[in-house]
Chain A
């Protein structure tokens, strides 16, 4: 049984943020997140990948017209009688827990609910049905091994969509591992220019390196440094970047759907200490940004101390930056101005809050800053 209860203080804070929407928020947290992938355009075009995946009987959806590389795997087509036993066996074998829609938590009895569009239902033939993919099936497929796609949550693709890296630019990714966003940046830059991909954790850096090799990324330099120390060193060496992605370490409130264990790890002291660290990283990053360059600051948490407060700190302490509006293909809510006893700069509203219940994704926060002088 995989049933985690949110801590009372967490519930209290989320209620203060969401008001009457707290129930729909808590409800969506119980649901398994959708399986989303990003086509690695360095190796294959979205159309070709789509055909390959369809030939494997996978039900694939491209939710955004402007970003065809983003795909959702709804399940796979299988014959009705043969499937149930086989699937049940594989689920038992791996001890996988699936979400039981009739109960309030996670249970191992029922299969995951597969949502399909009407057009997809019409494609099914008599005697066929769509079942959810087996555990780890997306990550074990040949196409994944060949680097044709990267398993990545939709919300996690958004910071790079906001950053809009262009071919030939010099980009810094301060907390790069395990490499989802770095490989996305490399794809957007068509393997030209240079990306400096940094992380402090060696284990995670190994995963980053292997992902970059798998995805065919060749325009990157991997460094292992503390984010603030790296910025200082780069500044001393005279580096100036066109774009910087600060996907800061955070308390992870937005990832509760995929890792409910965050409920247990959550505490207010971590949020406060992370907030200080995030301010330090962002302020250091600003020093190595070109004039006219852009920083995208993102976290996978809802805590305003780690989001608006950090952006507010930057706006109040540096007069050479301004916050930019972001247009993203999913529903975003503006940043908040007031939180508990604190009030933030009005421009903080230009940042973007993504809640799981709005788009059936994970939760995220994104803000884009531009250096003006």
Chain B
């Protein structure tokens, strides 16, 4: 069974959501707009079933899946991610994963 938890911003900041693949739990930030929450939910749920090893490929796939399900949520999430702290997070993730 998959569990979806909506923690406060302080628990997940600067991330929007997180997928715990071992325990089948999806965390989504409570403070996000509803459309973004829907997009993040689909995005993280896709992570739970996705077994591919390459991190970037995994992210592309789950973003695409979320985009199909909630296009507006995807657009708002992209706009919300144009903030320095989010960009910094992406750069750091890419650096560490490569």
Chain A interface residues (CB < 8 Å from chain B): 42-43, 140-142, 145-147, 191, 213-214, 216-218
Contact = CB atoms under 8 A, between A and B. Distances in A.
B13 A145 contact: no
A146 B96 contact: no
A191 B14 CA distance: 18
B10 A145 contact: no
Contact of A145 (B8, B9, B89): B89
Interface of B: 8-11, 13-15, 88-89, 92-93, 96
B13 A147 contact: yes
Contact of B96 (A42, A43, A142): A142
A43 B12 CA distance: 8
A43 B92 contact: no
A217 to B, nearest CB: 7
A146 B14 contact: yes
A191 B11 CA distance: 11
B14 A145 contact: yes
B10 A216 contact: yes
A73 B55 CA distance: 27
B96 A216 contact: no
Given A142-B92, A213-B13, 16 more contacts: A42-B11, A43-B11, A140-B92, A142-B96, A145-B89, A145-B92, A146-B14, A146-B89, A147-B13, A191-B10, A214-B13, A216-B9, A216-B10, A216-B13, A217-B10, A218-B10
28 contacts: A42-B10, A42-B11, A43-B11, A140-B92, A141-B92, A141-B96, A142-B89, A142-B92, A142-B96, A145-B14, A145-B88, A145-B89, A145-B92, A146-B14, A146-B15, A146-B89, A147-B13, A191-B10, A213-B10, A214-B13, A214-B14, A216-B9, A216-B10, A216-B11, A216-B13, A217-B10, A218-B8, A218-B10
A209 to B, nearest CB: 12
Contacts of B15: 146
